[in-house]
Amino acid sequence: MKTSIKTNYVKYLFIVSFLMLGTTAFAQEEEAAAEKKFSISGTVDAYYRANLNSANSGSNYSAPGSSFANLPGFALGMANVIANYEGDKVGFTADLVFGPRGTDAVFASPLYSNTGDIINQLYVYWNVSESVTLTFGNWNTFLGYEVISPAGNFNYSTSYLFSYGPFSHTGLKADFDLGSDWSLMLAVMNPTDITEFNPNGKYAYGAQLGYSGQYLNFVADDGAFEIDFTGGFDLSDEFYLGINAAYFDGADDGPGFYGAALYPQYKTSDVFTIGLRGEYFSEDGNFGAIGTGVDDSSVFAVTLTGSATIGDLVIKPELRLDSTSDDAFLDSDGDPMSGLSSFVLAAVYAF
């Protein structure tokens, strides 16, 4: 009788233990699943653009030499869809772009096929520790104040400094949190903006030193190099000042550029901010960015932008004046001129 009771007790103990282990394992799986977050985000944008002192169609049509927002009349920006998977240690980003702005953003990428490329970013990452993250794949550049996504910029049109710095890189980078607001990034990459594969066996190298939101950036690529400073300061609760300065030296005494831009922005209410971008950009030789066709041209560009928020939609009216040291534009009669004034009304929806 005692033997039977003992045997039944052992059986019950075994069953209860098994159920407890199963419940614990299930809870651990739920906890692990909860730590993994999958999300979809992105933007949709469109705009209207008109020159105020030049033709708005035909062979005399002029636009600034910077990237994006240069098409006449009602025009499309891009649809941007970003899939993110964030785990405790590992994750990925798949960033796809469709439309004219997206095509311009991946201008050097369609090398593998002639069907075009819609990949803006595609990378995986591994949080090796609390202070070290490795990223492998294709990511947007770490240089410059502005970015490809219109939702990431205050001004809708872009600067010359952004337009002629790198857009994207493919390679391996390591980010280090050095503590006390200091950070360091080191990278080895394919040639700049060649993101699908390496066509020539040469590599570019990058570095970024950061402190409390201020960044000193460096890229060396086959004899050419660019050094860039990007930062900003909250001067008050309403007033912010962004800063960008860069110097690019071409390989083998090739043409380069240098310049600086300031981004003062004043928040007038919870739904409206007004901001100015003042930029000086100069070519060393005939880099071809400004479009004058002569050596050592420069441009001073001033862009005044309003930003009105309506839920997830942002409306941006913008006035821009580009003034070049040599004639870079055409007036309505087709005669060369050195100044171009234009108006843009953009709508950007972020989700």
**Considering the domain boundaries, does residue 2 fall inside one?**
no
Tens of pLDDT along 276-316? 999 999 999 999 999 999 999 999 999 999 999 999 999 99
| pLDDT averaged over every residue in the chain | 91
Other C-beta atoms lying within 10 Å of the C-beta of residue 192? 23
Pairwise CA distance, residues 76 & 45, whole Å: 7
Query: Is the pLDDT at 227 greater than 70, yes or no?
Result: yes
Is 6 within a domain?
A: no
Instruction: State the average pLDDT over residues 181-195.
Output: 96
Cα–Cα distance, 206 to 224 (Å, whole number): 12
Cα gap 299→261, rounded to integer Å:
12
Whether the predicted pLDDT of 12 surpasses 90 = no
Residue 1 lies in a domain: no
Mean pLDDT of 9-31: 47
- Tell me, rounded to whole angstroms, the distance of Cα 109 from its chain centroid: 16
Whether 130 and 36 have beta carbons less than 8 Å apart is answered as no
Q: Is the pLDDT of residue 206 over 60?
A: yes
Start-end of H helices in the chain: 2-35, 100-105, 160-164
Instruction: Determine how β-strand 119-127 pairs with β-strand 90-98.
Output: antiparallel
The residues with which 249 forms a beta bridge, in sequence order, are 225
What does the pLDDT read at residue 111? 83
Q: Is residue 27 one of the residues assigned to a domain?
A: no
Flag whether 12 is in a domain. Answer: no
Q: Residue 202: what pLDDT? A: 96
Rounded to two decimals, what is the model's pTM? Answer: 0.87
Q: Looking at the domain assignment, is residue 297 inside a domain?
A: yes
**123 is in which domain, residue-wise?**
35-350
30 has a pLDDT exceeding 70: no
Give the pLDDT confidence of 232-250 residue by residue, as tens digits: 999 999 999 999 999 999 9
Which has the higher per-residue pLDDT, 110 or 231? 231
Closest CA to 162 of 261, 49, 268: 261
Answer whether residue 15 is part of any domain. no
147 forms bridges with which residues in the sheet?
none
Rounded CA-CA distance 70/318 in Å is: 13
The tally of domains found in the chain comes to 1
Bridge partners (DSSP) of residue 210 are 183, 215
Pairwise pLDDT comparison (175 vs 26), residue with the higher score: 175
**pLDDT for 22:** 52
- Over 80: is that where the pLDDT of 15 sits? no
More confident residue, 240 or 110: 240
The Cα–Cα gap between 250 and 166 comes to: 13
Residue 7's SS3 state is helix
The CATH number that applies at residue 111 is: 2.40.160.10
- Residue 146 pLDDT > 90: yes
pLDDT score at 334 = 96
d(CA 105, CA 148) in angstroms, rounded, equals 7
Within-domain flag for 195: yes
